[in-house]
Amino acid sequence: MNRRDPLSDQIQISLQNLSTNQSTCSIFKVPRVLRSVNDRAYEPEMLSIGPYHRGKDDLKMMEEHKMHYLKMFLQRRPENSLTSYVAAMRGLKERASRYYHQPVSLGTDAFVEMLLLDGCFIVELICKIATSGPKQGDPVTGNILVLSTISYDMLLVENQLPFCVLLKLFSMAMPNERDPFVSKASGFFKWMFPGSRLERNNIISSQECKHLLDLVYHNWLLRSPDVLPRESEAKNIKSEFIRSAKELKEAGIKFGKQEESYGLFQAYSCLIHKDVRTKAVD
């Protein structure tokens, strides 16, 4: 009869305690080796979403706006009480926590509050833009600099909320909405990715989507040989990127002779988001 080995017992305990949710993890913290190149590229500038950047002093300004957006969100379906939304988020707490690779230090109530506030802010913002576009007087949608900054913040890998949370809130507040949330969210981000139009039937399904960054990745950035159009089909794809010289001229663009031997196109300087190089795709 084999004697029990204390080391075997210790390893067995470690195996039993091994996390079983590795396959569901989809929201990670950026490794230090990547952060060493440009640490600020992975930090939100204005908006904290999820637990990783929650409570940081330089992001607290948006917390008050989240409360205002929660109030507007609750007005969409007055028969749903705040308590019902809190209960729904409590029901998703365990599932949502499994999306995060690093342990979440928030207590149960704080985590549920985060799901509610961040989720309602995202859903309300996306639906407002989808319905009426930027609105003058709104401190978020009425300020193009604020809106563009938080749009980029919403696509940071550490700044994500499980898509199932957004879907639950959307379905509760707008059960009769014809346009699905995944389409509204895709429309919200399309200005950031010039190029071919995004056809409705090519949008990733809600069931496949893990979070907003995953939505953008599958809709615009994922390119594999089996989905690239054939040459004959490519001619019929309408581009929203660079217009023809005729269209540019009709729009008022003036063309002139370039005296120097270098360069193809001369344009005035313009302000570009400081992190644009971190979002380039080969």
Question: Tens digit of pLDDT per residue, the chain (282 long)?
Answer: 567 788 888 888 878 766 555 557 889 899 988 888 888 889 999 999 999 999 999 999 999 999 999 999 999 999 999 999 999 999 999 999 999 998 888 999 999 999 999 999 999 999 999 998 888 889 999 999 999 999 999 999 999 999 999 999 999 999 999 889 999 999 999 888 765 556 555 677 777 899 999 999 888 776 444 444 545 545 554 555 566 777 777 777 877 766 666 555 565 555 555 555 444 333
| Domains held by the chain: number | 1
Q: Flag whether 26 is in a domain.
A: yes
Identity of residue 215:
L
Burial 183-192 (b: 16+ CB within 10 A, else e): ebbbbbbbee
| pLDDT score recorded for residue 146 | 94
Q: Residue 184: CB partners within 8 Å, gap ≥ 6? A: 126, 127, 130
Q: Flag whether 33 is in a domain.
A: yes
| pLDDT score recorded for residue 229 | 52
Residue 124 CA to residue 146 CA, distance in Å, equals 16
Q: Flag whether 258 is in a domain.
A: no
Q: Flag whether 146 is in a domain.
A: yes
Of all helices (H) and strands (E), which one includes residue 35?
Answer: helix 32-35
Cα angle 182, 172, 151 (rounded to 5 degrees) comes to 40
Residue 108 structural domain: 22-176
Q: Give me the sign of the Cα torsion angle 26, 117, 53, 48.
A: positive
